[in-house]
Amino acid sequence: MLCVGLVGVAGHVVEVEADLAPGLPAVVISGLPDTALHEARDRVRAAVVNSGQRWPNRRITLNLLPATMPKFGSAFDLAIAVALLGGSGELPLLALDRVVVLGELGLDGTVRPVRGVLPMVAAAARAGLERVIVPADNAAEAAVVPGIRVRAVDTLHRLVEFVRDGTPLIEPPALAPSHGPDGPDLADVAGQALGRRALEVAAAGGHHLALFGPPGAGKTMLAERLPSILPELDDEAALEVTALHSIAGLLPAGGRLLRRPPFQAPHHTATVASLVGGGSGLARPGAVSLAHRGVLFLDEAPEFGRGSLEALRQPLEHGRVLLARSRGGTEYPARTQLVLAANPCPCAKPAGDIHCECSPLARRRYLGRLSGPLLDRIDVQVTLPPLRAAELMEATMAEEPSAAVAARVAAARRAGAERWAGTGCRVNAEVPGPRLRRPPWRLPERDTRELRGRLDSGSLSARGFDRIIRMAWTVADLDGRDRPHSDDVREAIQLRTGDAA
């Protein structure tokens, strides 16, 4: 029988063999099974007997190939039961030739849903297999994968009747709409022209963003509205994002394909494992991977543990997380936009308030929790001023809605995608620095003179130099120019450092 095992988000076809030999009745499972697979012996036995089938009282050896790949979880239960019944002569398996069977068994023979069905079915399709049988509750999720025929079962008895008599299996339901509910609109944000421009540039180029300023300035509101101006995910990205949420067990009812960029906003008490992934056995994806192709928002960023913040540096740089374990490594994609929000001091009183009890040293220490190496990876860093009464009381209809900004962002992304076609880069933030420093993309010296001076004086790192160049390209894309000019570089410097060149 064929099944699929997951290592991270990558699926691998697994062949389940069953050998029944004379000897004392026993069940042995080989092929690097985890605890859940070891316990499958008792689940499968009870399910087979309670489904009206005869249990073979022989020495049963079950082998999962390839034997060198670790196997995790309960998705192998149904394949094990069918292989065992086929090996005992109770069930002809011709109808299941080159069919992938997935599902967890209850003691009464019901087939229960499992996590990660979408990447499992996708792996089967990549291996050239054309048919899969999945739990009924996972049918809609499995049907998202193109080019493969999906059928579902709710009990082991139904699958046995299908193999013996050709009784039809359950058809997957019609796919639910692929778009989710609309989120908050940018029109709700009063004033903050600089913050709006920073948000638009970050969205257009896929740049990381840090928002500083007093409480009530609109930092959180701006960050929560970033997904509303991002383009919907294309087919490839949507499958990646949906697969990650499937592994984490977070797919909404109906198993629809996720088209909207995900938004993750963990609490400041989040651990390193919850942010980057972890856990015993098969390491689960963390918030940075669940935000893949979307937004990871850390509100009150200085309140996060230093270890948690520093753990984000490698995923931000490489767009992936490699979680090493004694039984092997697990890799998850983590191409996300990081958004940080921070108050200027621990007491979070409005800027310049006479009641602020924080000394200049306390303020420096508070923001110093965001290390230099982490901030060096944040492209856009702006400080928002306090809102004035006139701005707050103006009619919100005067503010530009998300739809209008999203149209400009989409046009800028299309321009960037056409420019970098064939390089593997989707947005400007992903383009390697060396590529931008070589012809034909190298900017003239007259346009980068001030930027070079900042690098030579030590006020800007080489990483910061490259990130400003990337932002300059994004600014040019938003304004409809083929190449950045000195004004674009100047605006990029201002968005990075807070002061004009």
- pLDDT (mean) for 484-501: 87
| Contact call for residues 332 and 203 (beta carbons, < 8 A) | no
Q: What rounded mean pLDDT belongs to the chain?
A: 90
Find tokens 């979307």 and name the residue: 294
Q: Are strands 380-383 and 26-30 parallel, antiparallel or unpaired?
A: unpaired
**pLDDT > 90 in the chain, percent:** 70
CA-to-CA distance for 30 and 78, rounded, in angstroms?
17
pLDDT number for residue 18: 94
What is the DSSP secondary-structure string of 319-353?
SEEEEEETTEEEEEE---EEEEEE-SSTT-PPTT-
pLDDT number for residue 334: 94
Residues 113-133 have pLDDT tens digits of 999 999 999 999 999 999 999
Per-residue H/E/C for 189-253: CCCCHHHHHHHHHHHHHCCCEEEECCCCCCHHHHHHCHHHHCCCCCHHHHHHHHHHHHHCCCCCC
pLDDT number for residue 299: 95
- pLDDT (mean) for 444-471: 93
Please list, residue by residue across 239-272, b when 16 or more beta carbons sit within 10 angstroms of its beta carbon and e when fewer do: bbbbbbbbbbeebeeebbbbbbbbbbbbeeebeb
- pLDDT (mean) for 241-270: 89
Q: Residue 53 pLDDT > 90, yes or no?
A: yes
CA nearest to 309, candidates 367, 360, 261, 348: 367
Q: Across-strand partners of 345?
A: none
Distance from the Cα of residue 29 to its chain's centroid: 33
| Contact call for residues 410 and 187 (beta carbons, < 8 A) | no
Burial of 399 per CB tally in 10 Å (0-12, 13-18, 19+): middle
Q: Are strands 328-333 and 284-285 parallel, antiparallel or unpaired?
A: unpaired
- pLDDT (mean) for 130-147: 93
What six digits make up the tokens of 124? 């089967």
Please list, residue by residue across 126-153, b when 16 or more beta carbons sit within 10 angstroms of its beta carbon and e when fewer do: eeebebbbbbbbbbbbbbbbeebebbbb
- pLDDT (mean) for 96-109: 96
CA nearest to 302, candidates 227, 352, 358: 358
pLDDT band at residue 501, thresholds of 50, 70 and 90? very low
The domain locations on the chain are 2-165, 186-427, 431-501
Q: Residue 367 pLDDT > 80, yes or no?
A: yes
- pLDDT (mean) for 252-261: 81
pLDDT band at residue 329, thresholds of 50, 70 and 90? confident
CA nearest to 37, candidates 73, 10, 64: 73
Question: How much helix, strand and coil, in percent to the nearest 5, is found in the chain?
Answer: 40, 20, 40
Q: Residue 32 pLDDT > 50, yes or no?
A: yes
Q: What CATH number labels 2-165?
A: 3.30.230.10
Q: Residue 478 pLDDT > 80, yes or no?
A: yes
pLDDT number for residue 191: 82
Phi and psi at 4, nearest 5°, equal -135, 130
- pLDDT (mean) for 44-68: 94
| Contact call for residues 332 and 9 (beta carbons, < 8 A) | yes
Residues 405-449 have pLDDT tens digits of 999 999 999 999 999 999 989 999 999 999 999 999 999 999 999
* Options 3.40.50.620, 3.50.50.60, 3.40.1400.10, 3.40.50.300; CATH of 186-427: 3.40.50.300
pLDDT band at residue 257, thresholds of 50, 70 and 90? confident
pLDDT number for residue 499: 67
- pLDDT (mean) for 83-106: 93
Question: Which has more confidence, 216 or 84?
Answer: 84
What six digits make up the tokens of 431? 């383009």
- Residue 63's contacts (CB-CB under 8 Å, 6 or more residues apart) are 16, 17, 19, 29, 30, 31
What six digits make up the tokens of 477? 């894309």
| Contact call for residues 20 and 89 (beta carbons, < 8 A) | no
Q: Residue 475 pLDDT > 90, yes or no?
A: yes
pLDDT number for residue 358: 83
- Say whether 15 sits in a helix, a strand or coil: strand
Q: Residue 392 pLDDT > 80, yes or no?
A: no
